[in-house]
Each structure stands twice: as structure tokens, then as C-alpha cells.
Amino acid sequence: MLNIFWSLRIRLLLVTAITPMLWGTTYLVTTELLPPHRPLLAAVIRALPAGLLLIAITRKLPHGHWWWRSLVLGTLNIGAFFALLFVGAYRLPGGVAATVGAIQPLVVMMLSTGLLKERLSTRKVLAAVAGVFGVSLLVLRADARLDMWGVLAALGGAVVMAAGVVLSKRWTSPAPLLATTGWQLVAGGLVLLPVAYLVEGAPPAHLTLANVGGYAYLTIIGSALAYALWFRGLRALGPTDVTFLGLLSPVVATLLGWLVLDQRLSTAQLIGGLIVLVALVTAQLRRRTTRANRVARSAVRRLAVLERV
């Protein structure tokens, strides 16, 4: 049973890792395919149509307290996170914003200790610090400027999504995964919609075929599929384990810049990418216990979660 548990865990981690890798393609799609200077519009289109699509597929609406829980989770994981993310991206160089956002595993660990009663692991704390350092080497530039409001926005984005991740684990919905994912995407999109209109105005009157293709990719692949895999991982794995996978996003974004945009990779960036990967692997290690009954019970619980997903 122990071997089955570890095999399922590794498989779940690999599948969940697809999400941050997909999110890592967002920068390339946004810069190459979408209309310029409309980040909040892109965020709304990423969230709202994807959520409506999933609700149409599942044909399930929230019941009871899941109306307000969906609003809270959608605001934290999507609405407030996207808004703060784009404010930080506009006011800071991308490397600074990504480095500040890389503290998210540390925030999740602290919140999990208080809300989920998880034990704070020294190994994971050190892995999280190494992850921030690796991301800084990967994306930070020597001439990067700091803007107080930009740093606060990037920090706020990391905190609100960390809170959303932990609460998503604490509040496990009995509804199908795609349904709860759709509720959060719709809630987040509705929160963003008036903000996008007030800040950026009405959507463009004309869109090119490339614009439509970019928006379709962000809606179907970058949100509907990516968030379903993300919340699936959260149901079956620990929030800290899942959040560490988010460090893959800047790695993928950097690799795509090298492969597609012909950007150069420095030695420091290669070292940074290697540090991030080592931090990811280190964070996912588990101390084996000799108490067979504890292992069996843990494995059975995980299997039961997987069956519900």
C-alpha cells in the first residue's frame, strides 16, 4: 500500500505541475497575441467565460454557505489576485514582481500552521527561501527599480492567493471539482469586471484573429483547464506542496523567452533555474515512518480523496 501511495502522490504532483507551467506561458501569449495595455480585460476574459463554461458543463450551482464561500475563494484566488498581480506588473519590472511573488510558499506555510494545524517544517522553510533566491537569479536584473506601491501590490497578490489556497483546502466542497472551479472563476471574474471597466474602459471595438486566439487560449487552457488541475491537486495534496509548484511559472516563462523570443540566458539564470528545481524536489520529500498502521491509514485517506476527485 505504501508503494501505491507514493506512486499516486508523484502522479498527482506531476499533473498538478501542469498548471503553473501553463501559467508560465501567459507572459508570452499576452505580449505576442493580446491588445496592448489591457491587462485587466485579459484577466476578466481569463476568469468569467471559463467559469461560465464549467458551470454550463456541470449544470450545478452553489448551495447554502457555498454561495459566500465561492465569492470569498474566487476573490482571493482570482479576482483580487489578478488585480494586484497586474498592478505589480505595471509598476515593477517583471523580475521584481516575480521575486516578490515567490514568497507565496512561505506565506502558505505560516497560514497552514494556524488554520490547518500543519507542522512547520524547517526543510520546507529552507526550500522556500532557496526558491525565492533561485527565482531572483532567474528573473531579476541588476538595474531593476523598486516602487513602493508596486512592491506592496505584488506582496498583496502573493498573500491573497496564499490565503485562497489554504482556505480552499480548509473548505472542501462536496460538489464536483469542475463545478466548484467554475464558481470561483465566475466570482473572481465578476469582482474584476467593474474594476476593469473603470480602469481601462470598454473592450476594444475590433479584435484581430491573433487577439481572439490569445483570449481563447487563456480562457480554455490557462484558466478552465489550469484551475481545474490546480484545485484537484489541492483536494488531494497539502497546500504547501501545491504552492511550491508555482515556482515553475517563472522557469517556464524564462525558457519560452529563450526558445521563442530569442532571449539570451546567462549563467546566473541557469543557476537560478537549477536552484528552483532543487527547492521544488526538496519541498516534496517525505520522511518515511516505520509505523505501518499510520502509513496505511494515510494512504487510504489519500486514495479516498482521489476517488472523490
* pLDDT tens digits in sequence order for the chain, 309 residues long: 556 656 777 888 899 999 999 988 888 888 889 888 888 898 899 899 999 999 999 999 999 999 999 999 999 999 998 888 777 766 766 566 777 788 899 999 999 998 888 888 889 999 999 999 998 888 877 665 667 887 888 889 889 999 999 999 999 888 899 999 999 999 999 999 999 999 889 888 889 999 999 999 999 999 999 999 999 998 888 888 899 999 998 888 888 888 887 878 888 889 998 999 999 888 887 655 444 445 445 544 554 554 455
Say how many C-beta atoms besides its own lie within 10 A of residue 205's C-beta: 5
pLDDT at position 299? 46
Count of CB atoms situated within 10 Å of the CB of 123: 11
The single-letter DSSP state of residue 35 is: P
- What is the per-residue pLDDT for 214? 92
Tally of CA atoms within 13 A in the half-sphere of 73 that contains its CB: 25
Closest listed residue to residue 92, CA positions, set 180, 23, 157 = 157
Q: 212: exposed, middle or buried (C-beta count within 10 Å: 0-12, 13-18, 19+)?
A: exposed
Total Cβ atoms within 10 A of residue 37: 9
Q: Where are the alpha helices (DSSP H) in 223-308?
A: 226-236, 239-244, 248-259, 267-284, 292-308
Determine phi and psi for 102, rounding to 5 degrees.
-70, -5
267 alpha carbon, distance to own chain's centre: 27
Angle between helices 104-115 and 148-170 (to 10 degrees): 40
Q: Identify the pLDDT of residue 99.
A: 77
Whole-model pTM?
0.84
Q: What CA–CA distances, in Å, run from 58 to 31, 55, 67, 75, 231?
A: 33, 5, 16, 21, 16
Query: What is the chain's alpha carbon radius of gyration, rounded to the nearest angstrom?
Result: 19
Residues 28, 262: Cα–Cα separation, whole Å? 12
User: What DSSP letter does each residue of 112-149 carry, written as one string?
Assistant: HHHHS-PPPPHHHHHHHHHHHHHHHHHH--TT----HH
Measured distance CA(168)–CA(157) in Å, rounded:
16
Residue located via cell numbers 489519500: 302
CA 7-9-12 angle, to 5 degrees, is: 110
Assess contact for 257 and 119: CB atoms under 8 A.
Answer: no
